[in-house]
Each structure stands twice: as structure tokens, then as C-alpha cells.
Chains A and B, each alone.
Chain A
Amino acid sequence: MVDQIVFGIGITALAGALATVAGAAEDTESDIGSQGDPNSQVQLAPQMGYIHRIFNKAIAGEPPAYGLWVALGAGVAWALMAMQVNAVLAIILGSALAVFVQGIYATTAYLGRIASLAKFGQPVYIDIIKSMTTVTMAHAFVAVFTTVTVCYLINVALGHPFPLPLLGLVWGIALGAAGSATGNPFYGKERQYQSQKFGAGVPIAASGNIVRYAEAGERNSLDNGWFSSKLGGPASGVCFGLIVFFELWRTVIFEEIANGWGAVIVGILVILIFAVIDRYIEIWARKTYGPYGKPEEAA
């Protein structure tokens, strides 16, 4: 009994750590590829006369894209394991295959997105395809591999009833959702609109006028990846890591209490704790930063 819980705690901690890496890689990958919501501005810029050299591969949001890639990686890994291939090697091979699908996706999406902007004079840059695609694939591999490993641990070590491919789909979508929610605003406001005032949202009148010149020369997506890897990426990693950790932790440790209700109660307590923290930082921001102007009369 004690051994089982200790083992479960260890697996939970490992899964949480892997998920943190997965989230960080996922957000950085999507920012290099400009796939998340800020991509609306990358797509809009040429239509406003701002030609740029940012990679542009948003034909699906991060959640369905990662749902596909992680499920694919998990599915192939599962099939290989059924053929008696070693689990570690199977997961690596499955993830590698999923990443090549991601590479095809990135290439065709970029060509398609940019071609649609031809009437506005936005060119397809061959050197952008060559240099960016491999970088997004590399980051995608890290995200897919770590997430598939998390799913494998959940299935084999912790005994979740879902088979590996289904777990891959579920956690792939969750990975994309968490990474998108956390990393996108930072990439959108602080990188694409770096020239706008710090500490305020982008005025709607500024739409499309993204930063197109780098510290030296024209900006490209590697510059954006470098930026995201310093805060947005790690924050996304912490977000997904916390999600995986607490989902597993409350079940592994507390499900034995009161025939499963222990896990429910602990889950509610954790939610309340996070709500209190959120309220605290909301108040802190209002006091510390102060208002932009005077309160208006209710509309």
C-alpha cells in the first residue's frame, strides 16, 4: 500500500516535470511558426501594406494540431510496442514520425497562407521555409515526445483505462489549450507589438502594424522563438505541468479516501486555492499599477 503510493507519487512528479518541458516546447514551437491567435496579425499585416518575413503556418489552432500530433506519436508507439519493440525506442520512433507529419503540415501551411496574400505583394521566402521548418520540427519533437511519455506513464504505471492513442489525443488537446492560453498574449503583445506602449493593450487602431525589423536586419521567426523561450514558453510549461501534476496527484494520493470522494474534495480545495491566488494578484495589480484614467459612467 505505502509502496504503491510512493511509486505513484514518483510517477506523478516525473509526469509533471515532463509536462512542464512539453508545455515550454509547445509554446515556443507555435510562436516560431506563428500558429496561435497572434497569427491573425501576421496574416493581416501584408493586407495593411506591411510586408514581413515571419513564418506563418496557422491552418489549425494549437489544440487540434497537437491533439493530432500527439495522438499520432502515441498511436505509432503503441503499435510498435504491440510488435514487441522496446517502449523507449517505440516512443522515440512514434514521436519522430509525428514530427515529420508536423513538418509537412508546417511547409504546406506556410506556402498556402503566403500564397493567399500574393495579391498584397507578400512573397514566399524560400530561405524562410528552409530555416524555420526544421526549427519548428525540433521543438515539436520535444513537445510530442514528452507528452507521449507522460501518456505512457499514466497508462502503464498509473493504470488509467484509456489506451495510449486516446490518452495522446486528450492530453495533446489539453497541451495545445494550455500553451495557447498562456503563451499567446505574451508573444502577441510583447513581441509582435513590441513597439507599442508597455503596460497597456494594443490599441485596435494599430492592428496589422507589427514589428518587422529586428535588432539587426529584418525580423524572422527565430527572433521570436528566442524571445518566447525566456518567459512565454516556460510559463506555458509551468501551466501544463501544474495541470498534469495536480490532475494525477489528487487521484493517486487521495482516491483511496472515502471511495474516491477524497480526490474530489482535494480537487475542489486546490481550485479554491488557485482562485484566491488569482484574486490576490488581481488586487495587487490594481493597487500597484493604478488606473489609466477616471471611471466612466455605466453605459
Chain B
Amino acid sequence: MVVLETLGIMVILIALIGIIIGGVLIGFGVHFVPVGGAPAAMGQAPGIATGVAMLAAGAGLAGLFGGAWAAELGLLVALAAGAVGGGLMMAITQLMVNIIYIFGMGIPVASGKVAKDPITGDTQTEFKSQGTEGHGLPFVSYAGGVIGGMLGGLGGTLIYVMLLDVYLDALPLIYSTNKEAIYLVAVSLAGIFAVGMFLVNAVLAAYNITGTIEGPHDPKFKRFPRDIVASAIATAVTGIFALGLVLV
């Protein structure tokens, strides 16, 4: 228990709390992302045509990529870089979705859940084609997606930074060497666990919204409190495992 004695239980607990917060941010953020699934691929429902977990992972991992790159500049910059990275991926992806719908398919965007876009005030119902529940990404869905991507990138980066700090302190003690020698191992371990925890929380959110959601204006969004509890518990378990790995 050399590592635990040297670092102190408080350092480990603070890291665990940070990891849990990161996981909750991911789970909460996924609820903002407009996921249409298979119906969206046929223009039968609004949202992006891919699964919840994978779209969230794509955006969140892009954020993690940006955040990890900025990790050496300090916690706040890394978190902001991660958030922007996730938001940027969603902004670009969602724009291309609407470009394809509008210019490739001749279909205007419309929501199936609200009569008016809460942000722009545009009426929606007359722009739904017959036999569908809407299509594309109305602006409230677009904004929700960017916010969701930002929260995902923020959460993923927070998990990574928390783990990296602990590993950089613990691994030199375990291997009786210096930080430079184990840096790549620390980065790799932190990155892998961050990706893994990201997927855990994204999948939990996918179950909570039962597959598809239009964005923050969707009635399903109101289920998020249940997901916050689930994410906190799941992340605590995986976080203990990730931290426990080096507590020898």
C-alpha cells in the first residue's frame, strides 16, 4: 500500500469525485443530442441517423482528443478545450445532416414533438411530410446537439485528467522510476479508461431515452434525473476499478 500511503486517501477521493462528475456530465449531455436512429435514415423522424451511444461517443471522444492535447496547459483550459472539441464535432456533423436533407433530398426540417421551435418560434407542423413524424434537425435540435457534445467532451476530459494525475503520481512509485519513463503508460491507461467510461455512460443514457430523442425539447428529456443517478453509480464503480488498479 505504498501508493495509498504516499498519495493519501484524500487525493484518491478527490479524483474519484471528479471522475463521477465527469460521468454524470456525459450521461446528462447525451440527453441533449438529437438521435433519430433508423427512422431518421428514412426521413421519418427528426434527428441524426445513428445510435445514441455511438453518436455521443463520436462527439465526446473528439472532445476528449482536444482536451487531452491541452492537458498540460492546466485543468480549466483542458476542460474548455474538451468541451469545445465535442461541440465543434456536433456543429459540423449536424450542419452536414441538414445540408443533405435540404439540398440532397429536398426535405425541409421539422420537429414532431413541438408545434413551435422554442428557440426560433418557427411553426413546425405544416412542414412535416405526410406519414412522418418530422425530419432533419430543427434549430432547437441543432443547439441541443452542440450543448450535448460540449457536455460530453467536458465530462470525458475531466475523467481523463483526473486519472492522468493519479497515474502520473502512482506509476513512478510502482515501477521505481520517474515520470518521464512512465508517461506514455499513464496517458494510455487514462485514455483507455476515459473512453471506456464514456461508452458506459453513453449506453446508460441510450437505455434511459429508449433509443431515440429529438433534443432537449423532447418529453423524454425529462427522464434525465434517473440517468444522473445511474451514471453516478456506474462511474463510481468503474472509477474505483480504474483507480484501484494502481493502489498497491
Contacts and interface: CB of A to CB of B under 8 A. Distances in A.
Contacts of A64: 54
Interface in A206-265: 206-207, 231-232, 235-236, 238-239, 242-243, 246-247, 250-251, 255, 259-261, 263-264
Nearest to A60: B54
A71 to B, nearest CB: 10
B195 interface: yes
Contacts of B57: 63, 173, 177
Majority-rule SS of A interface residues: helix
B91 A270 contact: yes
B105 A275 contact: no
A170 interface: yes
Given A37-B41, A232-B100, A270-B91, A160 B65 contact: yes
Nearest to B124: A295
B95 A277 contact: yes
Nearest to A236: B96
Given A173-B57, A277-B95, A202 B50 contact: no
Interface stretch (B6-14, B20-28, B126-134, B226-234): B126-134
Contacts of B115: 295-299
A285 interface: yes
Contacts of B108: 282, 285-286, 289
Interface of A: 36-41, 61-64, 160-163, 166-167, 169-171, 173-174, 176-178, 180-190, 192-193, 197-207, 231-232, 235-236, 238-239, 242-243, 246-247, 250-251, 255, 259-261, 263-264, 267-268, 270-271, 274-275, 277-279, 281-282, 284-286, 289, 291-299
Contact of A201 (B51, B107, B122): B107
A204 B44 contact: yes
B191 interface: yes
A250 B63 CA distance: 13
Given A39-B38, A200-B43, A207-B42, 8 more contacts: A62-B54, A171-B65, A183-B100, A193-B42, A251-B70, A267-B87, A278-B95, A282-B108
B126 A296 contact: yes
B68 A187 contact: no
B197 to A, nearest CB: 14
Contacts of B19: none
Most buried by A among B42, B106, B109: B42
